[in-house]
Amino acid sequence: MKTYTVGVVGATGAVGKEMVLCLHDRKFPLSTLRLFASQRSAGKRVDTPYGEKEIELFSPEKAAQCDIVLMAVSGSFSKEFAPQIAEKGAIVIDNSSAFRYNDDIPLVVPEVNADMAKGAKLIANPNCTTAILTVVLWPLHKSFGVKKCIISTYQATSGAGQEAMDELEEQTRKILNGEHFEPQNFARPIAFNLIPRIDSMQDNGYCREEMKVVKETHKIFNDNSILISCTAVRIPTFRAHAEAVTIETEKEITSQMAWDVLAEAPGVEVIDDPESFDLPMPLTATKKYNVEVGRVRQNLVFGKNGLDFFICGDQLLKGAALNAVQIAELLIHSSPKSSILKKE
Amino acid sequence: MKTYTVGVVGATGAVGKEMVLCLHDRKFPLSTLRLFASQRSAGKRVDTPYGEKEIELFSPEKAAQCDIVLMAVSGSFSKEFAPQIAEKGAIVIDNSSAFRYNDDIPLVVPEVNADMAKGAKLIANPNCTTAILTVVLWPLHKSFGVKKCIISTYQATSGAGQEAMDELEEQTRKILNGEHFEPQNFARPIAFNLIPRIDSMQDNGYCREEMKVVKETHKIFNDNSILISCTAVRIPTFRAHAEAVTIETEKEITSQMAWDVLAEAPGVEVIDDPESFDLPMPLTATKKYNVEVGRVRQNLVFGKNGLDFFICGDQLLKGAALNAVQIAELLIHSSPKSSILKKE
């Protein structure tokens, strides 16, 4: 079997670390793993499932020596370096928002639009909330035609990085001990609180996270006609995002019809025994590849053409690292070997 | 000024304690406060803003000696005793769900349907989620005509009582210390988790908490034509419920039109400066009488006839104790004195 040199840029972050774990867990045909980070982490040695590895100081030249580069860095960093790396011949899968709305660059959720990845040298990984949503929404859209979609999110601190997760723990301890603290990663305390805004505000009164869900779902589904509205809320959980979703469909839909479709959908796990409290929740969705869906019920507002459901998926996995590794898997299975391997 | 003997039944619970604080804080014209509870608490002496008080063992006869009785007990307890107390001549304001759907018994949110309380001897206090919702939804309904309403809730542990709040704290400590625990008040762990079901499941796939919002809003608005759907989710906060709300209206609506209406609405506080993160959240809504509303924006699904907004209100106050005390205030201001005072 052919094997590949894979680079992870931003290897010390929450998403970067999960990318390494996903590559190993999914037995990605990897010959060499190279880990890149900024000056602050360069030279450190870290434990990985591939053994102890040294973090290299990032440069586009070094990253471009890899066959495939997974980037888990800021949008501005990706914007500067991802095209350079791709131009030099490596395939880049970028987790930032830098290229998601560029018409020339595919935005891929493998369960939805795998074909879009074919032949691309730079591929964008969607926003976490969108990735988790689309894997469940797509099979329903294919079967019933989604006309309207209203989403309220329950987002974990992991979406703001490892430091934000650490801060949730630290704030919580301090509140329980009656100690003073100043919020660092969020504008307001998050422990025992919620914050109903994520990312910057847009002119239409929505915040950027909410508009990402709208715009990215349109692009991934290649269908701008679906009316989508989202309310993005940060809650004090660590790493799985949940979403309450209401849809109106073209065709009539029942909960049984939805369960039948979702039971066959890739990347989806129906957990829907409310009587027993077996339902999607961060407790069970954390560290799970599949997105959990439950509370499936015919909707009281849209009637026979409406459905309510609740989903929960790991923000660091399907919402980031797993989706990126799945894209890499697509590429090595769908592309002629020579188009990826630079050193053959 | 005439004064009244007020009894609080369930005086040691989270809601009962807040009722006493509200009576005092709002300078209710009270001559005597009597606190009733079960055998477990009877005889205990507790500190109140009215001085130290002894908890009396509840009996309907003793409660009926009061002019006004505020009940903060279970539905089954209220079902048995509230009518007995009312028959004996006291006015009963009941916080349980026992009488909310009884056509002969008014269900009152003073900002919405104060007139319904007139002359009643037994009045039902609504579900917490409904009370918090209706105080904001009503002025919008009056001005724009709400046709459809979709709600996702972010409910605090206080909704399940003082023990549930204590359990959130205890579970959180144990998780941070790596200690084992068994959930007591909730079927699943709530610390750093969420539970997307509240109260028992109904035949239509909705849980009882969700259907309470539908049925009680219809009754309080005296309008069954509004299509309402709710998803009820418990999150790890202590005592303020938040709700993401999407409405479709008969008349066209803009965020400015909504702000103008909400700024004048009783019981509502517009907190809507997303740029500065001044938004409704448990951190600020806790221990506040008014319900906070923010994130007001024209909706992307219903367009010119649609609005999204986010609300947060104290579950123990507007969601329970405050609303009950407000009803008592209505009664003493609207009724001929003799119809309430039994001992004149």
pLDDT digits (tens, 9 = 90+) for B76-108: 999 999 999 999 999 999 999 999 999 999 999
Closest CA of chain B from A154, distance in Å:
8
Residues A173, A288, single domain; the answer is yes
Could you tell me the CATH number of the domain that includes residue A56?
3.40.50.720
Contact A246 B298 (CB under 8 A): no
pLDDT at A110: 98
**Would you state the pLDDT for residue A88?**
96
Asked whether the predicted pLDDT for residue A342 surpasses 90, the reply is: no
> DSSP 3-state assignment of A294?
strand
pLDDT mean over A286-300 = 98
pLDDT-derived band at A339, boundaries 50, 70, 90:
low
The yes-or-no answer on residue A333 being catalytic is: no
CB B232 within 8 A of CB B129: yes
B contacts of A279 (beta carbons < 8 Å): 195-197
A296 to chain B, closest Cα gap in Å: 7
Write the pLDDT tens digit of every residue in B275-306: 999 999 999 999 999 999 999 999 999 999 99
CA–CA min distance A147, chain B (Å): 9
pLDDT of residue B1: 79
pLDDT at residue A184 greater than cutoff 60:
yes
Contact B46, B56 (CB under 8 A): no
Q: Residue range A206-218: average pLDDT?
A: 98
Which band of pLDDT confidence, cut at 50, 70 and 90, is reported for residue A335?
Answer: low
Q: What are phi and psi of A285, to 5 degrees?
A: -80, -20
Q: Are residues A334 and A285 in the same domain?
A: no
Q: Can you give the three-state secondary structure of chain B, one letter per residue?
A: CCCEEEEEECCCCHHHHHHHHHHHHCCCCEEEEEEEECCCCCCCEEEECCEEEEEEECCHHHHCCCCEEEECCCHHHHHHHHHHHHHCCCEEEECCCCCCCCCCCCECCHHHHHHHHCCCCEEECCCHHHHHHHHHHHHHHHHHCEEEEEEEEEECHHHHCHHHHHHHHHHHHHHHCCCCCCCCCCCCCCCCCCECCCCCECCCCCEHHHHHHHHHHHHHHCCCCCEEEEECCECCCCCEEEEEEEEEECCCCCHHHHHHHHHCCCCEEECCEHHHCECCCHHHHCCCCCEEEEEEEEECCCEEEEEEEEEEEECCHHHHHHHHHHHHHHHHHHCCHHHHCCCC
Task: Provide, rounded to the nearest whole percent, the portion of chain A with pLDDT above 70.
Answer: 97
DSSP state, A71?
A: E
pLDDT at A1: 79
What would the mean pLDDT of B130-152 be, rounded to a whole number? 98
Say whether B283 and A193 touch across the interface (CB within 8 A): yes
Same domain, A205 and A274: yes
State the average pLDDT for chain B.
96
Contacts of A295 in chain B (CB under 8 A): 196-197, 205, 231
Which residues of chain A does B277 touch, with a Cβ-Cβ cutoff of 8 Å? 187-188, 195, 197
Q: Are residues B111 and B208 in the same domain?
A: no
Pairing of strands B303-314, B291-299: antiparallel
Q: Which residue of B has its CA nearest to A195?
A: B281
Q: How far apart are CA A171 and CA B236, in angstroms?
A: 14
For A150, the closest of B187, B227, B301 (CB atoms) is B301
Q: CA quadruple A166, A171, A172, A173: dihedral positive or negative? A: positive
Predicted local confidence at residue B340, as pLDDT:
59
Q: Please indicate, yes or no, whether residues B67 and B148 belong to a single structural domain of this protein.
A: no
Instruction: Clarify whether residues B244 and B331 are in a common domain.
Output: no
For the stretch B154-184, pLDDT in tens is 999 999 999 999 999 999 999 999 999 999 9
Examine the residue annotation and report whether A180 is marked as an active-site residue of this protein: no
A336 band by pLDDT with thresholds 50, 70 and 90: low
Mean pLDDT of chain A: 96
| C-alpha span between A122 and A270 (Å, rounded) | 33
pLDDT at residue B336, as a whole number:
53
Average pLDDT of the segment spanning A124-131: 98
CA distances from B142 to A293, B134, B149, B227, B323 (A): 37, 11, 14, 16, 21
Contacts of A238 in chain B (CB under 8 A): 192
Write down the ipTM of this complex. Answer: 0.95
Chain B residues close to A157, C-beta within 8 Å: none
Q: Are residues B266 and B156 in the same domain?
A: yes
Whether residues A173 and A281 share a domain: the answer is yes
Q: Which residues of A51-72 are buried (b: 16+ CB within 10 A; e: fewer)?
A: eebebbebebeebbbbbbbbbb
- Is a pLDDT exceeding 60 seen at residue B218? yes
Contacts of A274 in chain B (CB under 8 A): 197, 201, 205, 207
| pLDDT of A344 | 37
Kindly state whether residues B190 and B221 are assigned to the same domain.
yes
How many domains does the structure of chain B reveal?
2
pLDDT, tens digit (0-9, with 9 covering 90-100), for B225-251: 999 999 999 999 999 999 999 999 999
B147: CB partners within 8 A, 6+ apart: B225, B226, B227, B247, B248, B249, B250, B305
What is d(CA A303, CA A286) in angstroms, rounded to the nearest whole number?
Answer: 33
Tens digits of residue pLDDT in A10-38: 999 999 999 999 999 999 999 999 999 99
| Domain assignment of residue A210, given as a range | 130-315
The answer to whether residues A289 and A268 touch, using CB atoms and an 8 Å cutoff, is no
Same structural domain, A112 and A141: no
What are the pLDDT digits (tens) for A75-121?
999 999 999 999 999 999 999 999 999 999 999 999 999 999 999 99
**For the segment A54-64, what is each residue's pLDDT rounded down to a tens digit?**
999 999 999 99
Interface A-B, measured as beta-carbon pairs within 8 A, has a size of 172
For the segment A203-221, the average pLDDT, to the nearest whole number, is: 98
Closest CA to B282 of B236, B321, B217: B236
Q: Are the beta carbons of A300 and B206 separated by less than 8 Å?
A: yes
Q: Is A259 exposed, middle or buried (0-12, 13-18, 19+ CB in 10 A)?
A: middle
Q: Which among B133, B74, B145 is positioned nearest to B109, based on CA atoms?
A: B133
Average pLDDT over residues A277-292: 98
pLDDT score at B344: 37
Query: In terms of domains, do B162 and B297 share one?
Result: yes
Question: A295 vs chain B: nearest CA distance in angstroms?
Answer: 7
Contact B244 A205 (CB under 8 A): no
List, for residues A128-172, the tens digit of each pLDDT value: 999 999 999 999 999 999 999 999 999 999 999 999 999 999 999
CA A81 to chain CA centroid, nearest Å: 21
Whichever domain contains A292, its CATH number is 3.30.360.10
pLDDT higher than 90, residue A306: yes
Task: Say which of B22, B66, B128, B230 is annotated catalytic.
Answer: B128
- Average of per-residue pLDDT across B307-333: 96
The answer to whether A226 and A203 are in contact (CB under 8 A) is no
Q: Looking at B141, B149, B241, B312, which residue is catalytic?
A: B241
Exposed, middle or buried: residue B119 (CB in 10 Å: 0-12, 13-18, 19+)?
exposed
Both B154 and B290 in a single domain? yes
Examine the pLDDT at A343 and tell me if it is beyond 50.
no
**Residue A134 C-alpha, separation from nearest chain B C-alpha, in angstroms:** 18
Q: Do B229 and A192 touch (CB under 8 A)?
A: no
Which member of A228, A282, A310 has the closest CB to residue B300? A228
Lowest-confidence pick of B62-71, B222-231, B331-340: B331-340
Query: CA A160 to CA A162: how far, in whole Å?
Result: 7
Neighbours of A239 (CB within 10 A): 22
Q: How many Å apart are CA B173 and CA B177, to the nearest integer?
A: 6
Question: What is the model's pLDDT at position B333?
Answer: 83
